[in-house]
Structures are given as C-alpha cells and as structure tokens.
Structure 1
Amino acid sequence: MAPRQREPSIDRTDEYDKFMEDLAAYHEKRGTVLDREPKVGPRHLDLFRLYKRVCEEGGYDKVSDIKAKPLAWRRLAAEFLPGVSNITGLAFLVKTAYYKNLAAYEITNVHKREPPPKEILEDVTAKGGDLLNRTLENFLIPVGRDAESSANDGDKDKDGEGPDREPAKTPKEEKMDIDEPGSTGGRVTRGLRHAPPQRVLFQPEVSSRQTRQSSNRLNSPTPGSSTVGAQTNGTYATSFSLANYEPSQPIASSVKPVVTPGNNPDYFRNMARKLAANRASRGVQHHKGMMLPGTGFIGPNIYIRALLALQSGIVEEQKYALHHLVKISHERGDKYRFDGFPGLAEALISKVLEVSSLFYDVRWELSYADSDSTAGPYTLNGLTGTPDLLQKIGALTPLDAEDDIQTEEFSEALATINEAGLILRNMVMLDQNAEYVASLPLVKDFIVIALNLPHVSCTVELQHYALEIAEQLTKFYVLGGQSPLYQSLLAQLESADRGAIITSLRALGRIAMNSEVNNRLSDVPVAILQRICDWLLIEDEELRLACLDFLYQFTATLDNVEILARNVNSQSLVNQLARLLLYHAHFDERRERTRTLAKNGPPPDTPPRLASTIVEQLAVIEEPERSSQWLKTCFEEDPAGEITQIALWTAYNQSFQAASQQPGRPALSQAKDFITNVSNTFPGAIAQVVQQGPIAKYTIKGLRPRAVPVDLRGRPYMPCQWLIPAPPSTTLPPQLPNQPPRPKLQPCNEYAFKPAQMWEHVLSSHLGLPHDAATGKFDLEIVRSTSDPMVDVKPDIKPLPERRYDCKWGGCRHFAATNGESNPHVVAKHIKTHLPDDSPQSAHRSRHNRAPPPDTDTDHSSTPTPGGAASAKAAHKYFLNTATDERNDAAGLPLASVLVLRNLARGFGKMDAASGGDESWVRSVFAPVKEQLYYVMAYNLSLREYIASLTRAVAAAGG
C-alpha cells in the first residue's frame, strides 16, 4: 500500500496571513528577529494557532506557572505535535518558540502593558516566567560559570561578602530548609541542593581498664569534645582518633555439632539402606543425571507444554492443551505463531479431522507419500491433498446419531474438536499464520470434510469455523472448477443460513487475490447466479456487498459475462446496480472555485511553467515541505496518468536550482528523497519500473501535470493569454490553400492569482506603458510628437512618437477595425474586460446571488479564452456524496456497484464486437440508465472518476 499523505503543519488562511503580517511589523519595530515557521521536531509550528491556545490558557505566565498549571507546555506540545515521541524534550522547544516570537506581542496586545526590553526577554533563555513583573532592576541576566566565578571573586575583593546587599535577580518563593532524616516532605523542585551534614567517625566506648602507660597517654577523644576541637584541626583530630582506636573484645559464639560421615558413619549407612529398600519396593530405577519432578526443575513453559500435550494423543492432556490454547489464540494471537512452534498446526488439523468418526464409520489415515497412497478409501494425502475427497465422503456409511439426545462421550469429543477448530480460526486471522496454514494441503481437506458433515444443529459451529478459515485462506489458492473446496463453497450458497452464505461468497470472491494468476470462477450453476441477483434486492447491506464482491470477480472474464447475459435478466441487474450507486448518499454543501475552460483538450505532458513570483514564494520553504507544495501546485492525481521519474526530477530541479543557490535559501533535496516524497504527497501515486526489452523505464503511475497551477490553498492561478511570437521550433496546424502565411503565436502563460496583478503584467510587459515603481501607478496620459501643432508639450516631458496600441488577448479583434488605439487609457480599460471582476461591488452581488448585468459591448470576462480559465468565482454547490474510506476514496456498495457495471460494459462491448450484428447488448442494457449515470457523475464527488471510466467504456462499445 502507498503511504498515507502527510497532513500540513500550518493552515494558511486569510486570518493567518493577516496575523503574520502584524507580527512581522511588530518585531521589525521592536528590533527583534521573527521566525515565521519555527520547526520543532518533524513539523513546523503554526504561530497563530499557538498564540490563540496560550491566550486561552491565560497567557505565558499562567501556562509557565508550575503550581497553577503543571505540565501545561507538555500538554500544548502534544496538541501541536501529534504522534511524536519524546514529547517531554520537545515541550521546552515549543515554549522557547512562543517566548522568542510571541511573548512580547502578548504583553502589548493582550495585557496592554509595556514588555521588558529585548535584552532581558528575547536575548535570554526561556526558563522561568513572571514576564509581567520583569524589569532591569530585579532581573539578573544569567552568565556562564567562569564569568560568574570571576564576578563573584571580584565582588568579594571589592565589597566583601556583601551581607547587606540585596540579590539582583527576580524574587523567588522561599525554599524550605533541608529535610530532616526520615521526613516524608520533599524539597521544592528546582531549588539548590543543600550540603550534606558532616560525617563523624564512629568512636567506641573507652574501656575503664588502665594500661601500664595510661598515665602518660591522653584519653580517646569524643565527637563532642571541645578541648580537642580547640587545640587541633579536623585532620589532626581524625588521625588522633584512628591512632587511639581499640576494638571491643569478641564475644564467643555457641557452636552446634554437625553429623558427618566421619563422626557418625552408622547413621549414613542406615539412611542409604532405607532409601534402597524404598526404591526396590516401588520398582523405581535410578537414572543418573535426570532432574525428577519436585527436585527444582520447573518444566517447559505453557506454550511448549500445550504443544507436547496436544501431540501426546492422551485425551486428558489434549483437553488441557485445547483449554489453554483457546485463550492463548484469542489474547496472544500475534505472538503465538505457527512458524515458531513446528507441529502445532498439523496437530490441530489432525484433531479436527476426528470429527468424521463421530458421524461416519471411518477413521482417516494420513499419508505423506506419493499420490498413489490415496487409493485407499480412508486415506488423506498430506503432501498434495486429496482430489477425490468428495467421492470418498459420499461413499462413507453414516452412523445412527440422534441430534437431540447425545451421549457424554459424543459431547466431550465434539467439544474438543470445536475447540481445535476455534483455535485454528483465531490463529489464521493473522496474515503470517494464514499464509503458513495455506501451505498445508490437509487444511483444505478439513474444510471440505467439515462443510459436508450432516446438516444437524451440532455441526453448525464447526462449519462456521471452517468457512471463516476458508475466507482467510482462499486468497492464497488457485481453485479450478472441479476442486473439492470450490465445489463445497458453492454448495453452501444453496443453504438457508445467512452467515454461511455471506462467508462463502466472501471466500469465493477472494480466490487467488494474492496470486498473479487470473482466477476464473467457472462452473457456477445458473440457479446460484439467479439467487445472487435476487439477493441484491434484499435490504441487507452485508449480504449485498458479499454478492457484489462475487459478481466483480465473476464478471472479470468474457465467458462468465456471456453466461450471465444469456441466463439472467441483465437489464434488471443493471437497473438495480444503478440504483445502488446512490446508496446512503447524503447532501454535502461545498463552496468551490469554478473555472470555465475554453476546450477540453488532452492533458498536458509537462508541468506548467511557474512564474518567478510563485517560485520565490516556494523557494523559502524547507524540504520536504517545498517539494510537496510544488507537487501540489503543478500536479494532480489521475489513475490513468503517468510520468517518468527523470522528467519529474528535472522539472523540479530547473524550477528551484537558481533560487536555492542564493544565500540563506534551503538546499534542494536529493533525487531519491524527492521521489520518495511523491508517494507521501499523493497516496495514489506509485513508483514502478517498466521493463521495455533490455531497457528499464522508471515511472510514477497515478500522477499527471495540471493544466493550470494552483496556490498553497488549492486555488487556481490565472494564465496570461496575451499572444506572443512562438519559438521557431513550434509546429503550426496545416493552412488552407491560397491563404497568407500565419505568424507563429502562442500564449504568454505567465500566471497571476489576482486580476489586478494580471492587469499590471499586461500593461508593463506587453504594452510597455511607463510605470512608477514608487507609487505603483501607470502613466496613461497621451504624449504625442512635437510635429503636432495642436498639442502643447510640457517642457519637462520628453516628446515621444505617436504609438497605436492593440489588444492581443486570446485573439481579440476589438481594435482591428481602427488599426489600433492611440489612447492607452482606453486600451487599459478594455484589458480589464478580459479579466474577472474582483471589485467590492461584484463580491456584494455574489453574496446575494445576483449576477452582474451583462455588457455585450465590453464585457469579455465570461468569454472562454484558448487554453486557460476565463473566469473563476466562488459558488455554493450541493452534492450527493456516498461513503468514502480513510483516503477519501469511494467505498462500500456504490463502489462495488460501479465496478461490476464497468465489467459488464466491457464484456458486453466485446460480445457486440464479436457478434457484429445490429443488436447491441450495450445499448439495450445501458441506454435506460444513461441519464442516471450522468446524474451520479455530476453530483457524486466520490464516484465521479469511476463513473467517468464507466461512461467511456459504454461509449467505446457504441452505447
């Protein structure tokens, strides 16, 4: 699957743009640097949204107050950085981004106070708070340790310790004293650590017994002795104490005699004689080196214990194993895998195969030899499967068993078999286990045996387990029409059990899904096809979806479409599928920008050439956001589109190579990272390798260039349609004879977003009118040559030769009759008629749903122009959208219905082409629903692309 599209970090709305302009002006006035999009971790912070959230919490000081709001910054960081690990470390970066860019702005605009100067605000760290009370007098600018030590030494030399000086720092709350030993109260966090109390060596009590030199020696000092403290320092006192230390006399311990072979040999001889007699009486043989139970050996874990018990064949041990494996498979299915415990799957399959012995006079024998070993009537081949299993089951002799009254042995045996089937069902829900079990041929034999058991109530549970196992395994199988498993699944469609029917349809629809072989659902009885078509009329969404999944696989081949067309009422089927296209559709009102295109030509092969203003806007964005925005600007998803990777990378490199080389601009990403980011930006785009003989072609499927680029918010740019001379290499369409040669012209295709920008571009670039860079206005006065005696030329204006202006917007012929216009003011007003009206009066009329009065003489804004959009305006549209998935793609019954309809249209078209007659299946079946299909394509955004593909298939078949 393609990776999910990364969500944008910043919502660039008009309100966001206005806020950032005000914030940039504030920082410029304050003399600080604004980081417009600070990057924290993998994402860029939206300063506007962060500012609103902090203000909602009470401001920077309230959020930073540990007592009032503990861990507030961590909570805010989790909101702005969803799914990012190490949120504790990134919370301080979010706080720093707000402190540097928004703290002073908040004090000015929210609290209406003068913020501290930048020397004690933006230029220092974001640790701490209390910004509203921070001043130059009470705040101490933090310095390094070396500088702080030098400053402290200088203060001591100059002013001493300074006990009377007040600390030059922001006042803090008073810290509690050092904790007493054993106290439960903790210190105030972030306080200074107190020095530990001095340790005093242990001094034993001095014995009262006097030695011979006692009169000449000093007594051993005590810790509280003031005499020693007054005469010696700490080092001398410690040495003196160590020199006079005398340990106390050891106390004699009481001893207990131990019986050993040396001091009491008779005792050990009697003990050995008794052990030998007990061993002989029990018949126990002594095994040297074996750890017997009860001697400290804990045995295997529960997984190995259950596996060995299941393989032992002992009934009680198997009950124990199955009881625990049911719980393990339900709770630890992702950890308890078949490939980690060899033999477990085979043991479970052998257990469930015992169900035949409860209803038939048979006990299956498992053979792992060649296929000839299946000649026996009760033998199953464990290597290749049993192809004649249905015939063997039909030849079995059933036992007389009452469904209502069962023996105790029968109930216990069936319960253990059901437990084994439940374990298999739980385990195959994991794809790795399903792939492992699918490689065992015996599991197909078990499913066939379980589905062909007698139709009694006690077999329903095991049959449902078998169907659910088959639903998970058939995607790994390629089943022919004569396969026992395939025939058994088809037989379930004739039952009256809704659950069995739905699961069987799902299993049949998934056959060979994970295989490259195109599986054909062959030999399907006509009665079953008719029942499936009838089930589409039932108001049961799950049953309908299972039927459509089966029909989608069934109609994928032409032979099956012919069978369906000749045995089922195809027109009724198509009508019902067309009704399901709007199943559970809901009204959706959207405000879109609509564009009127000149003609629906073929999609462009190359991306649009971006104007320098658009390139400058994108060049300041860091990678990979820049490449994502460029891709969204120039490309769009198209399932039928395709572009080579080298062409895509070359277009991107040419767009930003010159801009990225300027100082301070982010560098371009590598080609490998750029191609990887394409799939992240467009989930439907897939990089693939197409082998064309010996040459490999690297392409990206599902992507095509836009005809008109869009801005960062998805709004289309306006192309300039002023005709300019084309390059000499441009090829013109053929001319009619006896016509003068036509000049090679092409549209300018410079893009602008607002009509005013396009108007200025035309006047400056194409008409060459004088432009004042300071005021931004054009000089539209008429300036003639001095040869005209009726015109007074001002002395400060340089006379110019008379010039006539013409309009070349999209082949306009407005001034053709007069051979141009000499008044530039008239030409400038005429150019505005080709551009959309963005005046306040026009916006007011749009809000009140009143169209502007048309002006047939001068209003050309709604006239289509060649190759581009003639007008763009916002309009409210109502749609009937159906269900979508997490990628905003169609899902559910509408999607399944349109896919079946497309298969039918293609199949009927091939049938018409093969028959060559006047009778057309496509016209007779799709003509009654054609208007309904176009209605769905117009009002259902979810199915629009699929309906377009369907209508193309109908049109290609002559419908």
Structure 2
Amino acid sequence: MASQPPVHTIDRTPEYEEFISKLAEFHRQRGTPFEPLPKLGNNHVDLLKLFNYIVEHGGYDAVSDEKLAWRRMCEELGLMTSNPPAAAFSLKTIFYKYLAAYEIKTIHHKEPPPPEILEHTTAKGSGLLTRTLENFAPNRRDGSVAHKDSDGDDGTPVRERPSEDTPGSARASRGLRQDPPQRVIFQPDTGPARATRNASGQHATPGGAHGSGHPTPTHSGSHHLSQPYSSHLSAYQRTGDGPSHQYIPKEVDYQHSSILPYKPTPSHTLPFRVVETPANRPEVFAEARRAARLHMTGRPPANPARHLTGMEGGPNIYMRCREALLSGIPSEQAYALNHLVKISYERGDRYRFEQFPKLLEGLVEKALEVGHLFYDVNWTIIYAEPEEAASGSIGELNGFTGTHDILTRIQQLKTKPVIDGVVSAEFSDQLNLITEAVLTIRNMVIHPDNATYASNYPMVLDLLCVLLRLPVLDMTVELKHFALDIAEQITPHLILGADDPLYQALLSQLDQHSDDRGIALTALRAIGRISMELAETNKLDNVPVGVLQKVKDWLLLNDDELMDACLDFLYQYTAVVRNLENLIQATHLEGLVSHLVRLLSHGAKREPREFTKVPEQRIAGNTMIADIPPDLCEQLLAIEEPERCYKWVRCFFEEDPEGQVTQIAIWQAYNKAFQERLRSAGRPMMQAAEFIRSITHVYQNAVAKIKREQGPNGAVVDKYAIDGIRPRKFPMSPGGVEYFPCLWSIQTQPMTVKCLTWLASPEQMWEHILTQHLGVNPDPEDKMFKRVTGEYTCTWAACQKYPVPTKMDLFVFAAHVKLHMIQAYGTYYNQPKKPSRQVIPAKTISFSGETTAVAPRDPNNPNAPITAGGIPLSATLVLRNIARNVVKTDGHEELVKTEGETKGWNERLFRALRPRLYEVMADNRLLAPHIVSLLQTIDDA
C-alpha cells in the first residue's frame, strides 16, 4: 500500500513565535514586505519548518542547483498540489521572498544582496550568495537565448504555444503534430428563389458563356456569405475553373456518396433593433422638445419625486417599524411589534438600539401600559430634576435618574379585579402587544452591545420593577420571566446597592416565588452577575434570612443548573465578612460546610491512570563499522563497481530512521576494505562523490545531509553525514548469513585484546582457533589434526576452565573449545532477531483516580492545560471563602471565649472533614491545587 503523504500543519510553539518575530523585524529593517502565513494552494506554509528543511538540504542555492529538488521538497513537506510544477515554483518563491535574505544573513553570515536584485525579482535561478549589482542581469523575454535553469520546476508553468517555424526546422520536428485544416462542405442556398436567380443570371450572361456547357453560378442574392468568401467565389466565376460551389449534377455517376446524405442547415434571420424616429415614436420627440423649451425659459421640468430625495425606495422595514411604534396608533403598533419580535429573534446579532434612536424608549413606553391593565395608574415617563419628579403624580417616572421610590408607589396602588382566563378581547389584545414589546427588549438585550446600551437608561430599571411586582396571576408569569431574562443580561453592567429598587425586587422573587424553578434560577443568576463587567464589588447586602435558608435547601436538590446558580450566589455572598455573620445566624453552618465537601465529588468518575516514573529510553545502536571478513572480501572483489559498493553497504549497514553515519567514516571503511587489494591488482577505485550517491540508492531512506554544528571553539562547522542507516552489529554475507567475532584473547603489550576475526560458521571458528591461536596445523596429506599432548590455556571470552597452561591431550582441549563454539553460535542463531530500534520501555505506575467536571477550553488558546470547573470547583471556592472570613467575624471571638476552642470556627467546621479533603486531594488531580489552597487557608487562619 502506498504511504500517505504527510499533512502540513503549523505548530505554534514558542520557538515558532520567536522565529516569526525575528523574521518580521528583519524584513522591517530591510524595508521589504513580509507575510507570516503565506499560502500555497489551500494550505498555509509554516515558515520555520520550511527554513529548517531547506537549510538541512544545503540552503537555497544547493536546492535550486539540484534537478527537481523543489518538487521533492513540496512532497516531503506535505504541500504538493495537483499541479506539481506550479506548487514547486510557488514554494521556491515563498522561500525566495521571505527567507532567502534571512538565510544569507543568519546561516552564511554574509550581507544579503539588496532588495532590488532579490525580493523585487522573480525566483529564477540560484547563486544568491554571489549575486551583486554588477554581475546580476535580469532575464528578458525578448532575448535571443532563453535562460534555462537546472531546476525543472524553476520557471512559472505556462502553456506552450505551437511553433510557427517551417515544418523542416528542428523545432517544428520536435513539436506535436497539428490538426489539418477542417474541410467545410459548402452549403448551397436551396430556397425557392434559386430558379429565379439562375434564370436572371442566364439572361444576363453573354453568349460565349453558354457555349461552355456549364451554367454560370451567381451570388448576388446570397447575403449570408461573408465578403472574403464572396470575392473568392467571384474569382472562380471569372476564371471558369475550380470546383463548382452551387452546381450539383443530376446524374448519379457524377455524385459522391459522402455528399448525398448531407442536409444543409437552414439559414437564420439576423436580429435587428428598431431605431426611434419621429415617425414611429412621436411622443418621445414631443417630450424632448417640451423639455428643451422649458430649459430655454429657465423653468425646470416637473419632477414629482423631487421631495423624496434619499427615499426613492421608501424607508426600510426597520425605520417603518420604529415610526409605527412611536405613532401611538394601535393598528400601526400591532404591525410594528409583530415584525419587531421576528426581527429581534432572527436578526438580533445585527439589530442595535444605537442605530435606531427612540426605539428603546418606544418599547418601554408601550410595555409600561401594563399599569392601567392591573392598576388604576398610567405610567408615564418625564424628564425632570429629582425634586420636580418627587412632587409629581404617582404615575410619573423620572427618565433622567430613575424612580427610587417606585416599589413604595406600587404598594400604594389599588389592584383591579382581574380574573385569570376571564378577560375581554380588548384586554387580551393590549396584553399581547405589551408582551410583544417586552419580548422584543428581551431578545435584543441578549447581544452584549444592546445590554450595555439598555443598562444606561433608568427607565428600563423602572420597567423591570413594575413587571416584577405585577399581581400573582397566570397571565403575568410570562411577563415576569421576560423581565428576569432582561435583568440577567443588564445586571453585569449595573451597580446595585442594598436600597436599589431592582435589587430588592429580585430578592423578593426568591422569597415569594421559590416554588417556580424558572423564576428562582433566573433571579439567582441576575443577582449573582451584578457588577460582573465593572470593577465594583457585588456585596449582596441585606439578603433576607429566608432567602439564605432556601438557597441552602436548593443545594440539596438533584438539579445541576440550580445548584450551580446557588454556589455562584454563595461564593459572592461569603466573600464579605459581615455576610458570614448573617449566614451563621440564619443557617446551620456545619451542615452547609459538610454538604459542600460532599459536592467536591459531584459527578465524579473513577478512571485508570498511569504515572511515568522513568521515561522510555532508546538504546544507542552500534557506531563502529566492522572489519571485512577475508572470505567476504574475496567475494566482493570478484564483483565490479558499482555493484560491489551496493553489496558492501548491504553487508555492513542496516536501515534505522534515527541512525546516522558520517560520510568520512563510511568512505574510510570502504577504502580500508578494498583500496590496497585493488591498487595491487591495478583496478580503479570508485570516486567519493559517486560512492555517497550509491549509498542513497541502496536504502531509500538514506539521505546525505550537511548539518551545521557548533565546534569545540564555538564556531559553526559543517558535518557531512548520511541519515537513515547505521552499522550492523554483525556483518552479513550477500546470501544473508551473519558473521560472529572470535572472542579469543591475545596477549599484547601492554594489554590483552580480543581477536575479533569475523567467521561465518562454528567449524570455521574452531579451525581458526586451532591454527591461528594454538598453532596446531592439520596434516598436509589427509588434512586431519594429529593427536598430540601439550600445555593449553583457554582465553575464550570469560572462560575460567583453563586459566593457566594445563597439560592435556589436544583432542580433549579441542572438545572444550567446541563447547564454546556451540554455546556462542547456538545462542546467537536461536535468539530472536532484535529490531533495529531497541528501546527500554518506560517504567509506569497504574492507579485509579477521580475525574470531575473541567472548565471549557479557551478557543483562543486550544493548547492551554485542562483545569477544574463546574460544581466541585465552585464548592471548593465557597469553602475557601468561609475558611478565610469566618475567623474575622464576631461569632468567632465569642466561640473562642465561651467554648475555649483555640482555633474557633475553622476547627469546628473542618476538623472532622480533613480526612475527606486529603482523600479528594489525592484522588482528583485537577482539583488538588484548590484543595491545597483550602487546607493552607484553614491552617493560616
């Protein structure tokens, strides 16, 4: 199966960001444009990967000098498109414009050519390191000799035009054959006027023309023929020779079989356009003459639409709805509100209050009409100073500063006797319009801009107070829900004190409507989000005791949304010290803390985990190139180059994706193996460059590279290496048989070394030890060893059987040596073959732990670490607030004095719960930092 091409992606690592910033600064100083994310086809190019990859292959000049190298770079970087030449040239252009000068400056430590001969020219050719203003001459299209670069993908792919040279020229012979000109059969005019034209032509023809026996063709009536064709046809008529264009002989012998089935296409009538003249369009010319007379008298022509400048198409639907709403006409308001509900729902993301002045005021005024439906009052908005507004009637609301006593006014109102489900049609229609007005406001404040805009209008806060204090009826539930939704969106932009009417109205919803989950949930969210977008702290003063008790009870319900809203409320409430005094008096604090600790494992799941003690380590491969065995050397010498090189590489090297061999080491090993023998035989050696290229032909993944490394003195030096291969631990014969080294120790001065002669079989090894190390030679006649007695010492590997010279029979000692051969070769041949890449597996510890809810990922930073979230995190934060602030209350000091507890409330609340806190800290990895902070706060307090 063919391997899948790599996918090119951009890794936004700190190294990448630093490289892009340096590159941008370089282009800014150079005065050249820079695109950090250039595009090739449908992919954005990672400039860091491209720069490192080209530099690894020798740089821009080296890659450009190699045939089709840029096309190969496209494939290896995963940037290949359906048009390989275009993709290669595009990649080369990207490197040329954005990275070439940077490579010259940072890698070669030279001054790059000026932009006039680098970035401002096309990416044609190479030689950037030697390019100057004096030796650079741009290519011209009109030159007699076209520039030909060595890279097959160097130029922009263009469609080649066919050569216009003569067929006998060399260029024409190399080009593709062109289609011959198409023979179009003449289409004669077969209309009914043919006989008349021919007859008239015959009467007009002189008598000499009739004597030829051929009728004279005429073309005066053939208006569909083009002028060149007509002139060409008349030439045939004058000369009397050439093919006939209209004559079809009646005899079958004179008709061709290919023409008989032909049916000419009928002629088409040419379209024409009627020209306006005073005869066919008198009214147009009369109007023009009248306008000319008015112009001469100085009077402009009548234009009924001159007063509608800018309104040619009339107002759009948004303007019409706003004006209809402000008109006060019930039918117009019904039309406007019906459309505004749809617009605010469907186009709420683009519909802004600030684009349509008076729209919010109109909606609020319409919604305030709810007053006369349930009370004997007509709410009106006035714009006056607070003193003047206070002296007004009970139904006047101050549009400047808001009405601070609006709740008192509502309590003073007399409620009308309205019965659910028993209302008039007029009442129902009015309530429906009011509901649509409130729903429009609710839909629009979902957008943050509209919420900020509405929070700056005090009349909106008064409207919410009016809606939340409506009588407890089924028909008012929907209005109250809409009002709470509006409050939830605008309270983050408000600062509400303890005496603010809206704050008190929201608290009353928690106290009076605790049986309605929707009202309780939305009211908690609205209160918890007060001042969220502002720097002011939401202190939550004067919360009734009944509300605190209900919040504690709601935490016991199996309702995640309600539980989350209660924890958000408690987190802000417990952040203020004086609020904890009320919490201690209103609730059983020990029970609340115990339940919060239980919530630390809310929704927890036990999952297996693995902890890595020691990471995986790769065993370094063999780096020494083995000496060539004598018999293998003889086999390879009998082969000519380059096949000898191919077989030698296969015998002594193997593929390894992470392996590397220096070019000088492999070349020296090859010379050591064959140079002396070839020189003595008068045979030539392979050149170094050809030898390196041959290695890359043997193994597909072997690549010759030039790597830049820092030398001992700090200077950057070039390292010539071959990646993708490594020396074999044991040489292998061309037939696949691996050699084993002789481990017999040889005494040399000043140390003992191993023989390490490579032999392919135990028999060869045994004979080698007897002849080379023991000095025993076989009989020349029968090639057998004679039975002799002598002193022998075994120095094979770590053998301790005969460490000192021992007198014995040769055959006995030879049998002992055979045991070493059997053991060595038997273990070697029977053991499983190890892979080329050997690693020490990582040491891990497996255990199970708790996993709770996590915070949603930031779309702007998808690689950020995962953090804790949800109900367990909120419970931890509430516990930390309690531990930090409960010791600052007056109740803490009284507890220390009266009961003698040294650590006061923290000791009472958390002493019995510490084991559970330690257990959660050990099991929940994401929640552990927050539990540590909680325990630290308990100890410090």
TM (norm. structure 1) is 0.47
Query: Which structure has the higher relative contact order (CA within 8 Å, separation 6+)?
Result: 1
Q: Max radius of gyration: which structure?
A: 2
TM-score w.r.t. length of structure 2: 0.48
